[in-house]
Every structure is written in structure tokens, then in C-alpha cells.
Amino acid sequence: MYDALKPLLFRLPAETAHEGVKELLRTVQATPALGVLDRVYGVENERLGVEAFGQSFPNPVGVAAGFDKNAEVPRALAALGFGHLEVGGVTAEAQEGNPRPRMFRLPEDEAVVNRMGFNNDGADVVGRRLHEKPLPDVPVGVNIGKSKSASPEDAPEDYAYTYERVAGAGDFYVVNVSSPNTPGLRDLQNREGLERILARLLDAGAAPLLVKLSPDLSEGATADAVDLAEDLGLDGIVAVNTTTDRPDSLRGEHRDETGGLSGQPLRDRATERVRFVASRTDLPVVGVGGVASAADAYTKIRAGASVVQLYTGLVYEGPSLAHDINEGLLTLLDRDGFDSVEDAVGADL
């Protein structure tokens, strides 16, 4: 069905198509058809289960932040076979984000460029929605970003305000200081700026707490961030966000658009960063970037990722992707003689 719909969706602007898909998921989520999705796309096998940062994941495949910014369709996403999802990024203030168009497909590269700018309903609304609406029986993370209007000096309190509105509703919380689409945000990845934010959130009781890193950090800066996460007692690291780099191999007409690049061109770089982080710490790593097949997910798992996340892969592969990856992982585990996904984590380190 998706193969038939894909050409029609790709005739629409990328953000318009995304909104249409979310509206469909919202409709399904409110009907008994939700159970049908779960039966069609779910893959139940204890070999896929993973324990990480105090959470039990029925399978290692999750939806990355950005797909469901306002926590509107978490149950529908879980019904597509995902073992967890991350909503947001959520900011203290409601934000419209950057002017449209701000999302661009690169079909020749199986990639997307976005400069959304943390558009979301704001912490008060999203927090209320998370507390009042039913959530799925898989871990739900909340990605927390900085309001565009908040100065670097005010950033710790800005993040804390958002956390306090969503506290208790999520199963884990991710500090986003690595989006390229909020001016000055990535500057907070320096040790001093990051420590102030993380310490304030820890004081507020944020747990489990993870930090999401940029693929554009140097290895030295990445190592500093990992060391800080360990020193402060964080629960995990998400590697990685989108990149502002543009590989020479890109062919899509929108390759020069400003924003963060995601999808297949980021795949190998993201895997290397997962490997680098996992080799330096025993903290669980969430692997993100270019996951669009079982082989992609398995490579990141063997590189040290306990679980993986995807978003752009859904654009190109459609709603059966989590199902296909989980079925494929079972085949790969059999091929390599692993009893479970957990046994394969870090096998290549």
C-alpha cells in the first residue's frame, strides 16, 4: 500500500505530507483499527528484548524525536511495531519554528534536510497531553530543547521549566543541545554550558536522563561530553543528531538547503560515532542516523548501541519498517549465533 501511496505523498511538500500521515495516525489511534495495526506490525519475540537505563524495551527499534513533536500519536506509533519512541523536542515556550518551507526530501540520497526550529506546542500543552492522554505500553522518552528566546545564561532554567511540566509522564528524558536549527544551541555542548544544564536537571530530579550529541562535534569534544555524562551520573547517551555537513556524494536538488541532514548519508558517520562513544563508556548508547533496514540497525547494535531510533527511514520505507527490521534482526541473530539482541550489543568493539 505504501508503495502505491509514496509517489502521491512525494508530490506534496515534505512537511505537508508528514502532517497528512500524522493526521491519519491520529484518526487510527482513536478507533479499534489501532489493534489491527498492532497485530499486523508487531513482532513478539523475547530475543528482541533489551534492558537499558532502567527501561524494558520489547524490541530495540524506536522512533526518533521530531516525528511526534507534540506527543499526539504515541500509541499509533507503538502499534506500528516500535519498541519505544521519543516525543518532542519540547521547549518551555510554544514556538512556530522557522519559516516554511523548512523540510526537504533528497530522494536520490534517501535523505532529508530540515530546519524546523523546534516548532512545538510548548511545555505546558505537551506536558498536559502526556499526563492526561493514554500512553502505549512501551517506553516513551521526552526530548527537551531550549526555547529560541532563552539566552545561554538562562538555558538551565529554561530546560528545567520544560522538564518540570513533563516530569513523571515520560519514561526517560533526553537533553537536546545538538539541533543545528536553533541559533546558539550547539554552543551549549561545551563542557561548562552542558554541565550547568545537566546539573540543573539532575537537581530537578530528571531521571533517567540522557544527552543527545551532534555528529559534528570533534572526537575530543565528544569524549569530553561522554566523560561529563559519566561524572554527573547520567543514564545514557544518544548518538547522534542531524549534521550540517554535506557529503560530496549528495545528488538531491535540495542538498544545499540550510539545516540538518539525516538519512542514509549520515548512516556510516553515525555508526562510527556510536562506536566511539560506546568504546569510552559503559553507559547505554542510543544509536540514531541512517537506520532504514535490519542491517543498518544490526550494524549500530554491534557497534555498541543498546537500542536504535529512526525517522527518515519511515519516509522512504513506510509503516512496515519496524516490523521488517525486527524480523530481519532475528535472522541476523541466528546467522551469527547470538541468543538475543543484548548479546550482540558491542560485538564489534
> Is 187 marked within a binding site?
no
- pLDDT band of 1, cuts 50, 70, 90: confident
> Is 45 marked within a binding site?
no
Please determine, for residue 293, whether its predicted confidence score (pLDDT) is greater than 90: yes
Q: How far is CA 261 from CA 63, 134, 243, 316, in A?
A: 17, 33, 5, 15
> Is 70 marked within a binding site?
no
The domain made up of 2-344 is a member of CATH 3.20.20.70: yes
Please determine, for residue 120, whether its predicted confidence score (pLDDT) is greater than 90: yes
- pLDDT band of 153, cuts 50, 70, 90: very high
Determine the Cα–Cα distance for residues 138 and 119; give it in Å rounded to an integer: 25
CA 141 to chain centre: 9
The pLDDT tens digits of the residues spanning 15-66 come to: 999 999 999 999 999 999 999 999 999 999 999 999 999 999 999 999 999 9
Residue entry with cell 489511534: 29
Of 56, 149, 151, 179, which residue is the catalytic one?
Answer: 179
pLDDT at position 212: 98
**Which triple of cell numbers denotes residue 118?**
523546534
> Is 68 marked within a binding site?
yes
The pLDDT tens digits of the residues spanning 80-93 come to: 999 999 999 999 99
What count of other Cβ atoms lies within 10 Å of the Cβ of residue 16? 14
**Which triple of cell numbers denotes residue 244?**
550540517
CA 211 to chain centre: 11
Question: What number is the average pLDDT over the span 227-252?
Answer: 97
> Is 240 marked within a binding site?
yes
CA 136 to chain centre: 17
pLDDT at position 149: 96
Question: What number is the average pLDDT over the span 112-130?
Answer: 98
Question: What number is the average pLDDT over the span 213-240?
Answer: 96
pTM here?
0.97
Mean pLDDT is lowest, of 46-60, 150-164, 181-195, for 181-195
**Which triple of cell numbers denotes residue 112?**
532529508
> Is 104 marked within a binding site?
no
Taking only Cα atoms into account, the Rg of the chain, rounded to an integer number of angstroms, comes to 19
pLDDT at position 319: 97
CA dihedral 292, 295, 299, 300 (to 10 degrees): 30
- pLDDT band of 184, cuts 50, 70, 90: confident
Determine the Cα–Cα distance for residues 62 and 55; give it in Å rounded to an integer: 13
Question: What number is the average pLDDT over the span 273-284?
Answer: 98
Active site (annotated) includes residue 249: no
The pLDDT tens digits of the residues spanning 95-107 come to: 999 999 999 999 9
Residue closest to 347 by CA, chosen among 303, 284, 295: 303
pLDDT at position 185: 86
The pLDDT tens digits of the residues spanning 193-204 come to: 999 999 999 999
> Is 287 marked within a binding site?
no
pLDDT at position 183: 83
DSSP string, 35-99: HHHHHHH----GGG-EEETTEEESSSEEEPTTTTTTSS-HHHHHHTT-SEEEEEEE-SS-B--SP
Query: Of 299 and 184, which is predicted with more confidence?
Result: 299
Instruction: Write down the mean pLDDT value for the chain.
Output: 97
Report the SS3 class of residue 124: helix
Please determine, for residue 143, whether its predicted confidence score (pLDDT) is greater than 90: yes
> Is 312 marked within a binding site?
yes
